[in-house]
Amino acid sequence: MARTVHVVLIYQSLLGIYGDRGNALVIERRLAWHGFEPRLTIVEPGDKVPDDADIYLLGGGEDSAQITAVRALIADGGLHRGVERGASVLAVCAGYQIAGTTFTVGDRDTVIDGLGLLDVTSTRGPTRAVGEILARWEGRTGDDAWISGFENHGGHTRLGPGAKPFARVEVGVGNCGDGTEGAVNGKVIGTYPHGPILARNPALADHLIELALDRKLKPLVRPEITELRRQRLRAARR
């Protein structure tokens, strides 16, 4: 019987305005293609966050929604327990910022505690980063190493010693214009691109599955996805 892989998409009503829900659909579909039984749970504020998930997904959102989300997640504790149990996490944009140690919001730059899953801090940047982003995934070679997406964030993020950059920016801003994009700590990956990022970069979806299950997957190439990647990479390089 196929192994069930449990994916939890967190707080669509707060962290769902940039279409990052598509990441859950990509993981679901690729799990099925790889021969697993996907199980998707969409958790809203007020629901318990299951702590038995294999993969957690957090998306982008506005500053005020981010505060509500982070406070609810800290109070709930399910995501933290899930990570301790070995789940992988993809946190995009606002999700990435709240996964860090602190972030600031508002004209007074009020400092808000994050989840502490990544050693990064976010503060208001000099200008909003908006546009196509192209980056090279650290430690990867070949065509899969190109990460493309769309960034749209006012916050800028700096890495502490406990976080490694996820990628190196070729086009766009990424973390804060220092050439780094995103951060990694163990099985937790934070990154800025929407797209959704897993639709544009399915190798990252497979990587999250591999991290969660502690095993390698067979390569899975689909011509329509290769074509989508070709188009998006060309658009970003323009």
Q: Which residues bind ligand GLN (CB under 6 A)?
A: 18, 60-63, 66, 93-94, 97, 152-155
Residue 7 C-alpha from the chain's centroid: 13
* Partners of 148 in the β-ladder: 134
The distance of closest approach from Cβ of residue 47 to ligand GLN in the complex, given in angstroms and rounded to an integer, is 21
Instruction: Provide the sign of the torsion angle of the four alpha carbons 34, 17, 143, 87, taken in this order.
Output: negative
Q: Which is nearer to ligand GLN, 97 or 121 (CB)?
A: 97
Task: Give me the residue whose beta carbon is nearest to ligand GLN.
Answer: 60
Phi–psi pair at 146, nearest 5 degrees: -80, 120
How many residues comprise the chain?
238
Q: Which is nearer to ligand GLN, 20 or 51 (CB)?
A: 20
Q: Which is nearer to ligand GLN, 18 or 146 (CB)?
A: 18
Q: Three-state DSSP class for 221?
A: coil
The distance of closest approach from Cβ of residue 152 to ligand GLN in the complex, given in angstroms and rounded to an integer, is 5
Distance CA 16, CA 73 (A): 15
Q: Which is nearer to ligand GLN, 5 or 93 (CB)?
A: 93
The distance of closest approach from Cβ of residue 18 to ligand GLN in the complex, given in angstroms and rounded to an integer, is 5
